[in-house]
Amino acid sequence: MIRGIEKRIIIVGAGPIGLYCAYLLKKNNPSIYVSIFEKNSDSGENISCGGLISKDGFNNSFLSKILDPKDFVINNLGAVKIYSPYKFFLDINSKKDMAYVIDRDKFDKILRDLAKSVGVEINYNCIVEKIYSNNLEYKDLKTSIKKEIYFDVLVGADGPNSIVRKSIPFNYDNSENIHAYQVLAEGNFNSKKVFIYLGAPSKSFFSWIIPINKNLAKIGVGSILGQNPKEVFSSFISKRNILFTKIVSESSGIIPISKPFKNYVFKNKIIIGDSAFFVKATTGGGINFGLLSCEYAQKAIYDFLKYKKPLSNYNILISKLLKELKLHYKIKKYIFSKTDPELEDFIIKLKSIDLDKFLEKKGNMDYPSLFFTKLFLKPKIFKLFPEIIKFFKSS
């Protein structure tokens, strides 16, 4: 490629978000050069993920128009039981399926093939080590040879510890990140219901069981940085008497949690997906919002290269997404800053106003703003939680 003739976009990270973004960029502008650098030897290998995504949220993305869910969906779920720290629960049984459980390994490989099919170049076994204004240095992990490469636009899709984000001079706080540990276990499970457990031993987050079928489920815990997630898992299993017969595999990973910031662009660099903390703070789910961020990034980059519009238009395009992420963050702060006795009391109060029945009809996993307005129409909410308006109005 001769510099100045073709534009070169480099994406760091061949996770689902980097792959989808690369696909969109190349498909909508075949003359540009789109190249991904990924340190792993392939996409979709031993991913640590519950794979739970909202159906409506996924259907909001353009991707839902080109993929057949049958190729990667391994369970459909409409029910969730949320346990308080001690003895109460909310039981939400929606009449229709609300969520997919997806096979992440398959999903990522499908996206890899989609990106390749339009001409995206994927360089596996290549770790990006240094980033400058218009070029970066990577190491080929097979040969240990280091090389430099030029870019017109650099996209950070390199997950929670993003090197692209670190190369951009803005303030972010990753002290609220969750360290998650999860096993795939055999046993006897309710195949149609997700189970969520609030309170100890999972500080500032929760523990979960996501069924794949009646004999297989993902069992996991979130812990704050500094806790040992495996120890948190053992305490969870014994406290809640969770039964399974065999651990098939185990994994751990970081769920990036942060209050949304104002700027996701610096000059010719842009961040998307987990590297931009586009994860719902209430659930740790990052796939649906990550996919949406690709669509906005694609538009901003296209307009930047073709019409010389500012790349920072991305900040405007993602504003709807940021509004929802901010609400998730506030809900997380409100709920997870409570002590276990306060959480117990909170669940009892929610039960007393039939919140589970309300969520069955109006709940939305991705877009809390859609049901919050309706929830605030319930006068009992203000009697039980007089602090609620003040809390959600605060920035």
Ligand X SMILES: Cc1cc2nc3c(=O)[nH]c(=O)nc-3n(C[C@H](O)[C@H](O)[C@H](O)COP(=O)(O)OP(=O)(O)OC[C@H]3O[C@@H](n4cnc5c(N)ncnc54)[C@H](O)[C@@H]3O)c2cc1C
Q: Does the footprint of ligand X cover residue 232 (CB under 6 A)?
A: no
Nearer to ligand X, 41 or 373 (CB): 41
- Minimum distance, C-beta of residue 178 to ligand X, in the bound complex (Å): 8
Q: Which amino acid is at 80?
A: V
Q: Does the footprint of ligand X cover residue 53 (CB under 6 A)?
A: yes
Is residue 265 within 8 Å of residue 314, measured between CB atoms? yes
Nearer to ligand X, 168 or 381 (CB): 168
What distance separates the 2 farthest-apart alpha carbons in the chain?
A: 68
Site stretch for ligand X (CB under 6 A), options 48-56, 169-177, 298-306, 335-343? 48-56
Backbone angles phi, psi at 197, to 5 degrees: -120, 120
- Sheet strands side by side (includes 269-271): 121-123, 33-37, 8-12, 153-156, 269-271, 265-266
Enumerate residues 6+ apart whose C-beta is below 8 A from 337: 204
Nearer to ligand X, 15 or 260 (CB): 15
Q: Does the footprint of ligand X cover residue 57 (CB under 6 A)?
A: no
Q: Does the footprint of ligand X cover residue 16 (CB under 6 A)?
A: yes
Site stretch for ligand X (CB under 6 A), options 51-59, 227-235, 331-339, 350-358? 51-59
Sole binder of ligand X in the list 83, 112, 122, 159 (CB under 6 A): 159
Q: Does the footprint of ligand X cover residue 37 (CB under 6 A)?
A: yes
Backbone angles phi, psi at 23, to 5 degrees: -60, -50
| Helix and strand element counts for the chain (H, E) | 14, 19
Q: Does the footprint of ligand X cover residue 12 (CB under 6 A)?
A: yes
Q: Does the footprint of ligand X cover residue 128 (CB under 6 A)?
A: yes
- Minimum distance, C-beta of residue 101 to ligand X, in the bound complex (Å): 8
Is residue 286 within 8 Å of residue 54, measured between CB atoms? no
Which positions from 180 to 219 touch ligand X by CB under 6 A, shown as an x/- string? x-x-------------------------------------
Is residue 97 within 8 Å of residue 76, measured between CB atoms? yes
- Minimum distance, C-beta of residue 276 to ligand X, in the bound complex (Å): 8
- Minimum distance, C-beta of residue 273 to ligand X, in the bound complex (Å): 3
Q: Length of the chain in residues, anyone?
A: 395
Residues from 253 through 292 that contact ligand X (CB under 6 A): 253, 255, 273-274, 279, 284-287, 290
The DSSP secondary structure of 135-154, one letter per residue, reads: EEEEEETTT--EEEEE-SEE
**Residue 220: closest CA among 267, 279, 179, 190:** 179
**Site residues (CB under 6 A) for ligand X?**
12-18, 37-40, 48-53, 127-128, 157-159, 163, 180, 182, 220, 253, 255, 273-274, 279, 284-287, 290
